[in-house]
Amino acid sequence: MMQLRDYHSLNDLQESISMKMIKRVYNTVFTPSTSIDLARIELEKSRKAFLEAKTHTEFYAAQVEFESIRIKRLEEYVNVIVEVGESATNPLRPVKSMVMTNAIVAKKVALSRKVVHSVAKKGVK
């Protein structure tokens, strides 16, 4: 190891220090990674991929739940309208009043809203 007195000037000392730094940076950049470093990098990539896949899964599960509730609500609405329409054209079937029909639809809408809110509060796991 060289002593401080071995350098002829301050510039020689600075050049030596800067060369050491360059060599250190070069070695850290171009030295092959160890197996532990590679395993850590792969583990981090795997965790990121897992979180992304889980996010997609939760999103699509919520979307499926939303659409199933929507289908039920629309089927019930269509069934009520069809029943009212059939009773108006069929003289043997008693006619439901529009007040009763509106009350049934309002109950079903309120029920579907409760289900949507409970799913939103609970979240999909």
Q: Name residue 103's amino acid.
A: A
pTM of the predicted structure, to 2 decimals: 0.42
How is residue 73 written in tokens? 């609500």
In the chain, % of residues over pLDDT 90: 32
> What pLDDT band is residue 44 in, cutting at 50, 70 and 90?
very high
DSSP letter, residue 9 = S
Alpha carbons 68 and 79: distance in angstroms, whole number: 16
Contacts of 41 (CB under 8 A, 6+ apart): 33
How is residue 103 written in tokens? 């009350």
* Residue-wise pLDDT tens digits, 75-95: 988 888 777 665 555 555 554
Axis-axis angle for helices 98-122, 35-89 (nearest 10): 170
